[in-house]
Structure 1
Amino acid sequence: MSKSGLAIKGAMDFDSVSTFLTDLVASFKERTICVQRGEEFVTLKPGELIELELEVLVKKGKQKLSLELAWRDEVLTEVEAPFKVSSKEPEPVVPAEDPCLATLPVAEAAAPATVLVKPEEKKAEDKKEDTKPAGGKK
């Protein structure tokens, strides 16, 4: 995606700013914000997760409110499952749609699987172990 943007800075009367903010909120609720000046325009489509930064300041007779909203384009990503910590292992889950497990009794289906290693892989594992120094002095 190419970079595009508009910067608008200037003074406006209260009613004009109020109308602008009302239009901005209405567009935001529609999830499409199109800002246009002359022939130039930029269209934003807010995502689900929005970063918010709000700053309010009163200093030497001047009051300021700054609002920044930022989000990333919607990208299909795998959602991480929430995690928990406990001292108990969860009960094994046997998928019902697996035809191989459907004929086994639950106790056998839930038994831990045995991993078979090809002889070539076994030799490679043995070689890795041989290169490690034995316990004690190096």
Structure 2
Amino acid sequence: SELKDDALDGFDVVIALGVVGSEQENRLAKALEHGSSSIKAFLADPTCGTETLQKQFAGDFHISSPIEGTIANLIPWSSIASGSRLLEKTATLLKRKSTEDYIFAALFVINALVTPLDVVKSDINPSWEKGAIQN
């Protein structure tokens, strides 16, 4: 099936699985660009092509931006750093290639960028998102 330019309009989170080859990656890039006003995060599993992997973003952090990477390191409490940590966490989960980990990657992103989810509140990893006192 062919991905239409407006196929991702209105989506909050998009996760690409196994998108490879210039034709597939170009179609996805057009759909992402068309739906960019509503998409809060774009994740790609490690089986995707390089162009698709470089389009990943979460909130204010875009994986392809060296400046945002520097900001994330220098200002760990910033929204850019939060997005960076979120992408790191989801990349770890997606690399495991298990259905359960894919679901949790999606849930972490939804919880952080779309709406709070009780199932994710139990995450025990210390982070700036929990605040300095709770760490």
TM-score band by shorter chain is under 0.3
Q: Which has the higher helix share?
A: 2
Instruction: Pick the structure with greater CA Rg.
Output: 1
The structure richer in strand per residue is: 1
Under a length normalisation based on structure 2, what TM-score does the superposition of the two structures give?
Answer: 0.22
TM-score (norm 1): 0.21
Higher RCO (CA 8 Å, separation ≥ 6 residues): 2
